[in-house]
Amino acid sequence: MILLALLAFAAASPPFDITEAKTFSFGDVTAKSKTSAVHADRLIPVVRERIAARFRTLGLTETASNGDLRITASLTVESDRRPAYRKRRSHPYDYRGRLLILIRAGKDNALVWEKFPSFSEDEAKRFEERLHHHVDRAIAGFPSKSN
């Protein structure tokens, strides 16, 4: 049994080399808002465009499908009443977002990179306005082709 596991491990493909990637494509990019104050349909284009912008700066070209890197992202937004000691009349809620970004190798579907940051804002409007900043900070950790 152990011998079979060792053989399977030895036969596994080598780790994905980012320097070989030339293209990227998107799988599902979803947003789900558990609060009516934040509109999920306005968040999806922001997440998608900010991730695409990062990959374009790395010299990769976006394709409709079957890219060397395949990206999926999922954003969930919640709101919660602030504790009484933090309550302000104008902003009684905290708006929290959790973003899951998965990047897989196109050929063998191996996980290349993942990030699961969370962030918050005082106002729903500010959450939507600053989402690009939060996505940029999350995707900035993706390794460049020179690393």
The domains found in the chain, sorted by start residue, are 20-82+91-139 (3.30.160.670)
40-57 and 124-139 helices cross at what angle (nearest 10)?
A: 30
Banded pLDDT at 120 (limits 50, 70, 90): confident
CA distance linking residue 41 with residue 99, whole number of Å? 15
Nearest to 67 by CA among 100, 110, 26: 26
Banded pLDDT at 131 (limits 50, 70, 90): very high
Return mean pLDDT, the chain.
84
Does residue 65 have a pLDDT over 90? no
Give 101's Cβ-side CA count (13 Å radius).
23
> What is the reported pLDDT for 7?
44
> What is the reported pLDDT for 83?
64
> What pLDDT, in 10s, does the model give residues 71-102?
999 999 998 876 665 656 666 678 899 999 99
Question: The tokens 């959450």 sit on which residue?
Answer: 127
Prediction pTM value: 0.80
| Over residues 30-59, mean pLDDT | 93
Q: What percent of the chain has pLDDT over 70?
A: 79
Residues 79, 28, 131, 141: is their CA dihedral positive or negative?
positive
